[in-house]
Amino acid sequence: MNRTAKAIVSATLAMGTVFGVGASVEQPHHNQAHAATTPYYTYSSYVNNDGSFLLNKTFKNAVKYGNVTFNGTKIVPQSGTSSKLNNFSKYDQSFFSVKSGKKTATSVQIKVNNVTIKQLKSVYDKDLVE
């Protein structure tokens, strides 16, 4: 019985050592790149003088990254020059673009009444130009 107990204890220690060493071996660190999500803002429908979305942080970030869409029309930076701007309207927004087409525009005009210049300055700070 003494030999059997010693054999079991030594086998248990041997197995524990094997598994313990395997578990304690440090795995090499793999650098993985994670895709960054670009902020975007999509507005659909009428504004109806409610410009509260202008004070939204998500909207501000989307404008900063040039990723704003109003009613299926993406607002893009102006490229090229032209003496004549093409304009078109969707709902209660007027879009202006150097190129013809209704998928992109260089600016959008929206009438809002419930947002003050003071509120806009508190959100946009130095980025706001009157």
CB-neighbour burial class of residue 70 (10 A; exposed 0-12, middle 13-18, buried 19+) = buried
Domain ranges of the chain: 41-127
What share of residues in the chain are helix, strand, coil (percent, to 5)?
35, 20, 45
Segment 71-130, tens digit of pLDDT: 999 998 877 666 677 889 998 999 988 777 778 888 899 988 888 889 988 988 887 776
Per-residue pLDDT at 17 exceeds 70:
no
